[in-house]
Amino acid sequence: MNLRGSVIPVIDLAARLGMAGTIDSSRSAIVVVEVGQGVVGLVVDQVSDILSVGANRIQPMPDFGANFDPAYAHGILALERGIVCFLDLDHMFAGVDVGLEVA
């Protein structure tokens, strides 16, 4: 994807998490994130809100049992309307060369 004159890789987040890939729709979006020293676009099903959250509000991941692998989960945030899971993108893409940096 061309982002302000720089080309960045775009990765389907659902596929990276081992789920069925994102189906392109009017609600799907690309979220631009910093991973290590690079910048990546993550294709997601939809974006509902943008939150600013203090680190002190993030709770540790609860134990969901043997069927849940929390390897990419950094923590959770409890909201009135549900729970937000914070992903550890540096861990998720460790060993993956994102290849390009925005200059």
Q: pLDDT for 11-56, tens place per residue?
A: 888 888 888 877 788 888 999 998 887 889 999 988 888 888 888 9
The mean pLDDT of the chain is 82
pLDDT value at position 73?
A: 84
Single-letter residue type at 58: I
Q: pTM score, two decimals?
A: 0.74
